[in-house]
Structures are given as structure tokens and as C-alpha cells.
Structure 1
């Protein structure tokens, strides 16, 4: 995975992190799914916040 595809994103409502390496069990999103390819109607699995409320996390992993 390149850097942008592997980037993690954090919900600005509840601080839940979407990690593409893990996917999202709640929405049945497979591991390895980049944030950019999530459906537009995807919601935060913790607080139900919309996708547009997520911010990219710039971190070193």
C-alpha cells in the first residue's frame, strides 16, 4: 500500500480511527480498503458520524 492508501482517518466527533489495514467490521468493510474508496454513505461505526467528519491522521507507522 502506498502512503495515501494506507493513511488512517479519525472521526472529529468521537475520535474513532478508521485504519484501512483493519477495515470496519460493523459495516463489513474488508481489511485493506482505503478510506477514499469507502462508500459516500459510510458512517462512523462508533458514533454514526458521516464520512465527511473524518480527518486524515499524519503519523509515522
Structure 2
């Protein structure tokens, strides 16, 4: 599973953990996150996330 970083604030989305507080269960792939989802820390769109090296 991959991890993605929010470039503006540094928050990391980890596919193995998800974002349960915002309805994304553990194992949710980044590509399956709805387009209207926003970074929980800074509120920016998911298009500003970059995949971290494995």
C-alpha cells in the first residue's frame, strides 16, 4: 500500500490506515478517494498530494 503527502502542509495519507474520521476505511486506495475529499489538516484538494517513494 502507498503513502501520499499533502505538499502544502505535510499531512500523510497512508492507504493501510485510511482516514476513518472522514469516512475512508483502512485499505482505501488513494485513487478511490472521492474527488471532493480534502486534506484533513489544511483543507486542500487531493490533487495537491504526491505519492511518497515506497
The bucket for the TM-score relative to the shorter chain is over 0.9
Structure 2: runs of 5+ lacking an equivalent:
none
Compute the displacement of 1:27 (Å).
1.1
- Greater Cα radius of gyration, structure 1 or 2: 1
Matched residue, 2:14: 19
Structure 1: runs of 5+ lacking an equivalent:
1-5
| Aligned pairs, number | 54
Cα RMSD of the aligned pairs, angstroms, is 0.8
Q: Could you tell me how far apart the structure 2 residues matched to 1:56 and 1:49 are?
A: 16
Q: Could you tell me how far apart the structure 2 residues matched to 1:11 and 1:38 are?
A: 14
Q: Could you tell me how far apart the structure 2 residues matched to 1:57 and 1:18 are?
A: 10
Q: TM-score, normalised by structure 2?
A: 0.92
